[in-house]
Amino acid sequence: MFFTFLAGLGCGLLISGEGGFTGGDKVAVLRVENVILDSQIYLESLKKIKNDDGIKAVVVRIDSPGGAVGPSQEIYSALLELREHKPVIASIGGVGASGGYYIACAGEKIFANPGTITGSIGVIAQFASYEKLLAWAKVDVEVITSGKFKDVGSPFREMNEADREYIQELIDNVHVQFKTAVSKARDLDMNEVNVIADGKIFTGEQAKELKLIDELGTINDAVTLAGSMGGIEGEPSVVSFPKKKSALLDMILSRANIHGLSGFPTKSSFGLFYLVDIIN
């Protein structure tokens, strides 16, 4: 029975991705990585963090060039709501730009390394037109809409001036939302934000001079401060989110996907992005 218990416990840890038990007061590290296209996994993690009385503070660790506007804003808003219950500190790794920086603004303090890439306060929307290619291939495409702006961004035709003006209005509006969040979070006058909100990226050292971050430091520095703000004495225990699946579970799921048991082709769609293109 004892060995059966141990085997069951090991399987539970294997499937959940947990490497062991962490007792006592803890600091949660929420890792926001890669291009942000969906917020659900982060929102679920933040809900768990909020409901765990053993977690006294949170460090959101950002290694992301940004992503879609909606998900970035959702994560930012959820972190602000969490701040009403627990201290939240932001730590930017190699890159935390555009939507990544937007999320960092939810932290009470922002840490970055001197060579971190951050900033890129701006909005982008990109479109491809296949109209000339289709004409060359002698392919006709018929599109019927209920209004002249319904097919804005369609790859089947080039944009006209009215389309560009319409998209520019959307971009400008979302850009103002970004600048307003930065102004409020960093206690900067909107005129100060306007000067640096032209899409430029900055190093961590430059960002500190511009008051976009608070301190030059590592994730360990952020964890130490978060623990102190959360009332933890000594070096805090750390628990990471989102929880990662085990290598075994990943293998099982990937093999299931290969055999067609799960997964569907992805679909691209129109969207506005807080995203920096650092490497082509």
Kindly list the domain boundaries of the chain, sorted by start residue.
23-244+270-275
- Which is higher by pLDDT, 224 or 11? 224
Average pLDDT of the chain to the nearest whole number: 86
Identify the band that residue 276 occupies on the pLDDT scale cut at 50, 70 and 90. confident
Catalogue the active-site residues: 98, 150
Residue range 9-56, pLDDT digits in tens: 455 544 444 444 456 799 999 999 999 999 999 999 999 999 999 999
Domain 23-244+270-275 belongs to what topology? 2-enoyl-CoA Hydratase; Chain A, domain 1 (3.90.226)
Q: Distance between CA atoms of 216 and 223, rounded to whole angstroms?
A: 14
pLDDT for residue 54: 96
Residue range 117-129, pLDDT digits in tens: 999 999 999 888 8
